[in-house]
Amino acid sequence: MKDRDQITNALAASGYIADAELATAIALMQMLKRPLLLEGEAGVGKTEVAKALSAVHGTELIRLQCYEGLDQSSALYEWNYQRQLLAIEAHRGHAEAIEDQIFSERYLLERPLLAAIRRDRPPVLLIDEIDRADDEFEAFLLELLSDFQVSIPELGTIRATTVPHVVLTSNGTRELSDALRRRCLYHYVDYPDVDREARIILARVAGADTSLALQIARMVEGIRKEELRKVPGVAETLDWAAALVGLDVRDLHDAPETVHETLMCLLKTHEDKARLTREVSQRLLGKVA
């Protein structure tokens, strides 16, 4: 697929190393103008896809970070109540005369969803961790993703100026509705294989060479197979690689103590640090070619 190859190369130029399936999903997302739902464990690079797309298209990235209790006003729009009150105070005794004014564009505060449909140039809209939002917000989002228009009682219906490139991410903490899944293209983002993770290291960590990048990727692959509470993601791999390069490590076998001591870049809980003892790290290092 020509478009897929072009997208793979464009993403790589912006620092994101995509596999063929993800590149195909992005190609179809752009062709069909459908939202793309990316699901996978935390730290596998889902959010980075939206950032890379923004760089590839040279357009704005608008991010909506979801959380429990997120409501429409926080995601769509709010009125600038302070300015409205000041205007009312300035026209004390004539509030009726300025009612239309205070509910005009001048007093409207755009939030991410409204901003995304009002740009002259299609932005990338990242709806991050949609699984953390409530069912009610997900239901509201369905309407927006279907018609790309919103209704503001005081202003009427606002239709999209342009249709944004929409990327939704989910860590799987809550099952998403079938209705939302039907409206989106879907791709599961897994941990990268050794070769792709080595390429990611080379693209993102200055000073890393091919040999070291492969050693780091193989070591991380072994660590992920251990029974850990928090499996390290790509972001942790990059932190570890940057630490090793900063400490002038060129071969993991030449610095076993440094390798073990810097595993704090990968391990994020007390239980995992206790589980990955020196003996375990040396055993894993022994399997690294």
Pair (122, 248) in one structural domain:
no
Domain's final residue, options 188, 204, 235: 188
Of residues 150 and 171, more confidence is placed in: 171
Model confidence over 186-200: pLDDT tens digits?
999 999 999 999 999
185: enclosing H helix or E strand: strand 185-188
Mean pLDDT across the chain: 91
Residue 173 has pLDDT above 70, yes or no: yes
Pair (223, 282) in one structural domain:
yes
Q: How confident is the model at residue 221 (pLDDT cuts 50, 70, 90)?
A: very high
- The pLDDT value recorded for residue 195 is 97
Pair (36, 166) in one structural domain:
yes
Give the residue carrying structure tokens 């590839």.
Answer: 56
Q: How far apart are CA 278 and CA 172, in angstroms?
A: 33
Look up the domain containing 11 and give its range.
Answer: 2-76+111-188
Give the residue carrying structure tokens 């939202």.
Answer: 35
Q: What is the largest CA-CA distance in the chain?
A: 82
Residue 220 lies in a domain: yes
Residue whose C-alpha is closest to residue 132's, from 123, 124, 141? 141
Model confidence over 115-148: pLDDT tens digits?
999 999 999 999 999 999 998 899 889 888 888 8
Task: Taking residues 53-79, report their average pLDDT.
Answer: 92
Residue 80 has pLDDT above 90, yes or no: no
Domain's final residue, options 161, 188, 215: 188
Domain's final residue, options 146, 164, 188: 188
Residue 30 lies in a domain: yes
Of residues 249 and 86, more confidence is placed in: 249
- The pLDDT value recorded for residue 96 is 61
Please tell me the least confidently modeled range out of 100-104, 150-154, 205-209, 236-240.
Answer: 100-104
- The pLDDT value recorded for residue 147 is 84
Task: Taking residues 213-237, report their average pLDDT.
Answer: 96
Pair (120, 228) in one structural domain:
no
Q: How confident is the model at residue 94 (pLDDT cuts 50, 70, 90)?
A: low
Angle (CA) 245 246 252, round 5°? 40
Residue 210 lies in a domain: yes
Q: Are 42 and 62 in contact (CB under 8 A)?
A: no
- The pLDDT value recorded for residue 100 is 63
DSSP reduced 3-state for 65: strand
Task: Taking residues 191-217, report their average pLDDT.
Answer: 96
- What angle do helix axes 210-224 and 194-204 make, rounded to 10 degrees? 130
Pair (14, 123) in one structural domain:
yes
Please tell me the least confidently modeled range out of 87-91, 105-109, 179-183.
Answer: 87-91
Residue 19 lies in a domain: yes
Pair (70, 148) in one structural domain:
yes
- The pLDDT value recorded for residue 170 is 97
Q: With 0-12 CB in 10 A as exposed, 13-18 as middle and 19+ as buried, what is 16?
A: buried
Task: Taking residues 49-62, report their average pLDDT.
Answer: 96
- The pLDDT value recorded for residue 153 is 77
Residue 59 lies in a domain: yes
